[in-house]
A and B are shown apart, each in its own frame.
Chain A
């Protein structure tokens, strides 16, 4: 038995090493990246043990924001859901998923659970000022315009100021940020995860 586990671990390492060797750039992200999880995800360790990578949340998400983590993002999280604000924002707050969330309802293992909109915090947004239209002197503040949370973004002389404590990580600002490349991206910093399945 012990032997079996060791052997499996060894093989896993080997596969990982193989990918490191073959996929150069992607491999830098190994062993695994911290990603933005859907609203109401259990704490990462529990989440990973409960999520079966069935993809139900991803398939039923109303906005299409959920994508499976790629192998490049980490063998450990491969196939688990993450929020991708470039595709769509998450509507758990001020959107269609306030009261009922398809991702949560369709999760067969309670790796995702329902939390009240006021308690949703998936992460926060980061600003790359060099890409920001407003910072470069243009008129923008689209981020402020679309943000559903009072005080998460405050404009100062036409330039957005981000308050990560208030930001819930819904991704609306990232989705709508007009420049290419965008001036915003989402990180799990400050996320509020759930301790137990209720």
Chain B
């Protein structure tokens, strides 16, 4: 059985053509997913979400509640201790709550009950639009995390909109000045343009960031490709930058169950029944970090908290203070 040269050539040519055609068709059928291209983007020049307040008070008030088991009560008390939510939301209309819902496990996220109570207070203060918005860590679907951690169950009956930013968010490119690393960065518009941004974090240790609290929680306000970039460019400086760019109006840290030793997931859970809140994001984080290290049995929790690298950078950028002489801790 012989195959002529001509026939062999035809077979080869067909195979090559077939291969190239297949590549072409599969590139149409299975295009690379490019989140950036899928979303509308707009550009904001030289901006941060809000300017540093002029004539800021000489000290930062940090509210700490300990020993309250009911997460709703815990949330209400910790906010009331710094003068209540009305003082913060004023007559603004759009309040965005950014909870930490990075993973599909309850231990790793801010309790939906805490978020619900804060949302309720905001509504009671007369705000017309309250949104809960998050984008989970890479490789996890946010709506799945919301579902698994009971966010939909707890928040939807209250009529609060829960947004999966990866799916529903719009992107804004911010060109920030005076940052340490990030010149231009894409952020989810919903969080950036909020009249009031509230970061509701979980009290947790973190394997590369040391601790993840009110500031580090803001990483979920950025699309996945930016999250990756922060690690490439230097995580701690980028975390300080995003705190500077987004500067939340209020930070509430849920330590009803704190995650110690390891994190952001799979750490040792401690029933701490604690919450921390402040309008100064760094002061809130510093005090919460102290509590976290104290729970771990650290000898000098204050000194240890000061060692969190991005705290130092955030202070440098004017995000807040971790000088105890300038922090007034309010307890019940």
Stretch at the interface among A15-23, A42-50, A189-197: A15-23
User: With A14-B11, A88-B33, A139-B209 as given contacts, are A70 and B144 in contact (CB-CB < 8 Å)?
Assistant: no
Cβ of A178 to closest chain B Cβ, rounded Å: 4
Contacts A19-B19, A140-B208; A133 near B104 (Cβ below 8 A): no
In the complex, the answer to whether A142 meets B231 with C-beta atoms within 8 Å is yes
Binding-face segment, B57-65, B66-74, B135-143, B175-183: B135-143
Q: Do A18 and B231 form a contact, CB below 8 Å, given A88-B33, A141-B208, A145-B208?
A: no
Which of A89-97, A104-112, A119-127, A161-169 has 4 or more CB atoms under 8 Å from chain B?
Answer: A89-97
Q: When chains A and B are docked, how far (Å) is the Cα of A61 from the Cα of B200?
A: 33
- Minimum C-beta distance from B25 to chain A (A): 10
A14 touches B3 (CB 8 A): yes
Task: Check B228–A178 contact: CB distance below 8 A.
Answer: yes
For A10, the chain B residues whose CB sits under 8 A away are 1, 3
- 9-residue interface stretch from B82-90, B232-240, B297-305: B232-240
Pair B104/A94 contact, Cβ less than 8 Å: yes
Chain A residues with Cβ below 8 Å from B234 are 138-139
Residue contact A91 to B141, C-beta cutoff 8 Å:
yes
Chain A CB count within 10 A is highest, among B8, B140, B144, for B140
Cα A94 to Cα B149 with chains together (Å): 13
Contact across chains for B208 and A175 when beta carbons are under 8 A apart:
no
Q: What's the least CB distance linking A35 to chain B, in Å?
A: 15
Q: How far is the CB of A78 from chain B (nearest CB, A)?
A: 8
B52 close to chain A: CB less than 8 A: no
CB pair B265–A145 under 8 Å, yes or no, is yes
B207 is an interface residue with CB less than 8 A from chain A: yes
Q: Number of residue pairs across A and B with beta carbons under 8 Å?
A: 111
B122 to chain A, nearest CB (A): 31
Number of interface residues of A (CB under 8 A): 48
> Within the assembled complex, what's the spacing in Å between the Cα atoms of A67 and B301?
50
If A18-B12, A22-B12, A172-B139 touch, does A178 touch B229 (CB 8 Å cutoff)?
A: yes
Of B8, B19, B236, the most chain A CB neighbours within 10 A belong to B19
Whether B19 contacts A176 by the Cβ 8 Å rule is no
- Nearest CB on B from A108, distance (A): 19
Given contacts A14-B8, A139-B234, A139-B236, contact A95 B141 (CB under 8 A): yes
Contact string, A126-144, partner B, CB cutoff 8 A, digits 1/0?
A: 0000000110001111101
Option from B23, B232, B266 in Cβ contact (under 8 Å) with A70: B23
Classify chain B's interface size: 35 or more
Given the known interface contacts A19-B15, A21-B12, A96-B144, the answer about A179 and B3 at a Cβ–Cβ threshold of 8 Å is no
Indicate whether A11 reaches chain B with its CB closer than 8 angstroms: yes
Asked if B126 is an interface residue, CB under 8 A from chain A, the answer is no
- A138, B231: Cβ atoms closer than 8 Å: yes
Return chain B residues, CB-CB under 8 Å to A91: 141, 144
Give bound CA distance, A24 to B23, whole Å: 16
Check B140 against A95 for contact (C-beta < 8 Å). yes
Chain A nearest Cβ from B82, distance in angstroms: 31
Taken together as a complex, chains A and B put the C-alpha atoms of A150 and B23 apart, in Å, by 38
CB distance from B263 to the nearest CB of A (A): 9
Judge whether A28 is part of the interface by a CB distance below 8 angstroms.
no
When the two chains form their complex, are residues B19 and A23 in contact, meaning their CB atoms are under 8 A apart?
Answer: yes
A12 CB to nearest chain B CB (Å): 10
Name the interface residues of B1-27: CB closer than 8 Å to any CB of A: 1, 3, 8, 11-12, 14-16, 18-19, 22-23, 26
Within 8 A of A (CB), among B157-187: none
Give the CA-CA distance A27 to B232 in the complex, in Å: 34
Hey, which bits of chain B sit against chain A, CB under 8 A? 1, 3, 8, 11-12, 14-16, 18-19, 22-23, 26, 30, 32-33, 104, 137-141, 144, 207-209, 228-229, 231-232, 234-236, 264-266
What 13 additional pairs, Cβ within 8 angstroms, besides A22-B15, A145-B265? A7-B1, A11-B11, A15-B12, A15-B14, A15-B15, A19-B15, A70-B26, A71-B18, A87-B33, A88-B33, A138-B231, A145-B137, A145-B208
Interchain Cβ contacts under 8 Å between A and B, 14 examples: A22-B16, A67-B30, A95-B141, A96-B141, A134-B208, A138-B234, A139-B209, A140-B231, A142-B231, A145-B207, A173-B139, A175-B138, A178-B231, A178-B232
Instruction: Give 10 nearest A-B pairs by CB, closest first.
Output: A18-B12, A178-B228, A172-B139, A176-B138, A178-B231, A139-B235, A141-B208, A139-B208, A89-B139, A141-B207
